[in-house]
Amino acid sequence: MGDVVAFDNDSGPLDTAAADRQLVDRDAEARVAWTLEHFPDHTILSSSFGAQSAVLLHMASSQQSDLPVVLIDTGYLFPETYRFVDELTERLRLNLKVYRPDLSPAWQEARHGRLWEQGVDGLQRYNRMNKVEPMQRALDDLRATAWLSGIRRDQSNSRAERAFVEQQSGRVKVHPILDWNDRDIFRYLKAYDLPYHPLWHEGYVSIGDVHTTRRLADGMEAEQTRFFGLKRECGLHTQV
């Protein structure tokens, strides 16, 4: 790529601020390429297979066909999401890695009740059990040192100040489409004849679990369509 990534003591942890400055003016494809170049064989891509997920799935798998794609299956995804996973996995020939919580949904409900109905504390516990812990297990199992994510600044206030390169869970996390907007997404999907999630056309702009996802209605912000408006982040993309 021509430039040198800053490391502490030439072999220590990545200087994420310096790396971020390198990626600010590059396009999304170049940000993916940078990550794959600097963390070969140890990069994973996480995907919720949500509304606009086909963009980064296509972009990253086009550069590395065997790139591990991690899906966290809570057991509560929409039926349309499971079918969308199958469709994109087959079409893009994804190296899909599905991780699930240790307890099944039925066992969780028997033991803890419906955590998502127990306020913010219940939601946090639910997300930790069903999303954060399985993701940590995936990162460990796959020996990942770098993690590609499709979050964008315009998705919520909590993401507005995020950097292109960060540290999370002891890994380097890169957000190649962080500065994209819905128009950029549309153009990419159209250019490569890729689909939106089927529920996008029914008014769902952010798609997670059945019980904590709502259609966008008049007067709502997009981030209010998740977790009853009580919170936006599930913990997978909370900077640590």
As a dihedral over the C-alpha atoms of residue 27, residue 29, residue 30, residue 35, rounded to 10 degrees, the angle is: 130
Q: What is the CATH number of the domain that holds 166?
A: 3.40.50.620
- In percent, the amount of the chain with pLDDT more than 70 equals 86
Asked if the structure places residue 240 within a domain, the reply is: no
- pLDDT on residue 2: 38
C-alpha to C-alpha distance for 44 and 36, rounded to whole angstroms: 9
- Mean pLDDT lowest for which of 28-32, 90-94, 213-217, 225-229? 225-229
Annotated catalytic residue: which of 234, 235, 236, 239? Answer: 234
Tally Cβ neighbours within 10 Å of residue 228.
16
* Tens-place pLDDT, residues 13-51: 788 899 999 999 999 999 999 999 999 999 999 999 998
Asked if the structure places residue 2 within a domain, the reply is: no
Mean pLDDT, rounded, for 207-219: 85
Asked if the structure places residue 1 within a domain, the reply is: no
In this model, does residue 239 exceed pLDDT 50? Answer: no
Closest to 177 measured CA to CA, from 161, 200, 196, 154? 154
* Tens-place pLDDT, residues 119-133: 989 999 999 999 999
In this model, does residue 223 exceed pLDDT 60? Answer: yes
- In percent, the amount of the chain with pLDDT more than 90 equals 67
Confidence of residue 221 (pLDDT cuts 50, 70, 90): confident
Asked if the structure places residue 56 within a domain, the reply is: yes
In this model, does residue 5 exceed pLDDT 50? Answer: no
C-alpha to C-alpha distance for 5 and 37, rounded to whole angstroms: 11
Domain that holds residue 96: 8-229
- pLDDT on residue 160: 74
Q: What are phi and psi of 223, to 5 degrees?
A: -70, -15
Sequence letter at residue 47: S
How many domains does the chain contain in total? 1
In this model, does residue 1 exceed pLDDT 70? Answer: no
Q: What are phi and psi of 57, to 5 degrees?
A: -60, -45
> pTM higher than 0.95, yes or no?
no
Asked if the structure places residue 66 within a domain, the reply is: yes
Asked if the structure places residue 140 within a domain, the reply is: yes
Asked if the structure places residue 239 within a domain, the reply is: no
- pLDDT on residue 238: 57
Asked if the structure places residue 136 within a domain, the reply is: yes
- pLDDT on residue 94: 98
C-alpha to C-alpha distance for 215 and 226, rounded to whole angstroms: 9
User: Is 203 designated active site?
Assistant: no
Mean pLDDT, rounded, for 89-107: 97
